[in-house]
Amino acid sequence: MAGSLIKIAETTITSSTASVTLTGIDSTYDVYKLVISNLLPSVDDAPFMRVTKSGSADTTSNYDDAKKYLKADTSFSNIANVNLDKVDIMATLDDGAGKGSNGEYYLFNFANASEYSFVTIESTHFQSTALTVRGFAGGFVHTVASASDGVFIAFNNYTGGSTIETGKFSLFGLKK
């Protein structure tokens, strides 16, 4: 499997940034992988994702998701939504040093203009208020048959004014 991940784009955030857009998805690879590491908000908040069309985030209400919210300290929850304008890819993250979160996302059908783009979600984070580990497992689909060329990531601003304080965002193509 060595050499099967080909880096397409990478961005490392070290100071307050509103959002990250990674593009470069085309028909070169059938499957792409996004890795997010050490993501930290400026204030407690949940990050979301949108697909990009020609480099711009698609803000239409065409996202459907289903995922498990896994919690080490209590029972899991089921999450399912239709017609969203974005999808939470991690639960609410705590701000502050020594925290951060990680996620892996596989992107399918992005370059295919006659299929829906869909993404699998696997993410974890430490929640300091409950002193526990939590995470998401599931996925989402963008219910528009058109090509997508990347992803847009930001925070929901549930608590007002949240930005990305740190994080590394790496987009790979999976070699055929």
The pLDDT tens digits of the residues spanning 55-94 come to 999 999 999 999 999 988 889 999 999 999 999 999 888 7
Domain that holds residue 26: 5-174
State which H helix or E strand residue 118 sits in.
Answer: strand 117-127
CA dist., res. 50 & res. 1, Å (int): 29
In angstroms, rounded to a whole number, what is the distance separating the alpha carbons of residues 94 and 122? 18
pLDDT digits (tens, 9 = 90+) for 98-121: 677 999 999 999 999 999 999 999
CA atoms within 13 A on the CB side of 61: 4
Q: How many domains does the chain have?
A: 1
Provide the residue type at 121 as one letter: I
* Tens-digit pLDDT profile for residues 10-23: 999 999 999 999 99
Where b means 16+ CB within 10 Å and e means fewer, 111-145 reads: beeeebbbbbbbbbbbbeeeeeebbbebbbbbebe
Residues 10, 28, 176, 150, CA torsion sign: positive
* Tens of pLDDT, residues 127-138: 766 677 889 999
pTM over 0.75: yes
